[in-house]
């Protein structure tokens, strides 16, 4: 499967979806230093406006990249990824 570049723009609440943690996280210097630096999915700083992450995402379809502009997008991405993880792990959606 092809890896998709996820462009995670940091909104006013500083929260983005983190595929490594599989949840919404607050992005600050500490998070970047402890989680992004050295992460195999980290793909750059998005020109200072966010975080780029490169990972397999079957929900992206044929898209070359996914743009996550705000906390609503981040929450939707988190929900989709968690549902897929649950399907792989448990064979069903968690209610």
Outline where DSSP puts E strands in the chain. 3-9, 15-18, 23-26, 42-44, 50-56, 65-68
Q: Looking at residue 3, what is its pLDDT?
A: 92
- Average of pLDDT values for 9-20? 91
Residue 94 has pLDDT above 60, yes or no: no
What pTM does this model have? Answer: 0.80
> Residue 38's pLDDT is what?
92
pLDDT of residue 92: 62
Residue 39 binned pLDDT confidence (cut-offs 50, 70, 90): very high
Percent of the chain with pLDDT over 70: 96
In the chain, where the domains are located: 3-90
Per the prediction, the chain carries an average pLDDT of 87
For 63, phi and psi rounded to 5 degrees? -70, 145
| pLDDT confidence tier of residue 8, bands split at 50, 70 and 90 | very high
* Bridge-based pairing state of the strands 65-68 and 3-9: parallel
């Amino acid at each position: 499967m092809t890896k998709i570049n996820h462009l995670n723009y940091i909104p006013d609440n500083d929260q983005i979806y983190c595929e490594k943690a599989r949840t919404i996280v607050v992005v600050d210097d500490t998070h970047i230093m402890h989680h992004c630096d050295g992460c195999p999915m980290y793909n750059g700083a998005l020109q200072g406006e966010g975080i780029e992450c490169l990972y397999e995402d079957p929900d992206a379809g044929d898209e070359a990249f996914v743009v996550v502009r705000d906390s609503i997008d981040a929450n939707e991405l988190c929900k989709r990824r968690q549902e897929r993880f649950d399907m792989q792990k448990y064979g069903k959606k968690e209610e």
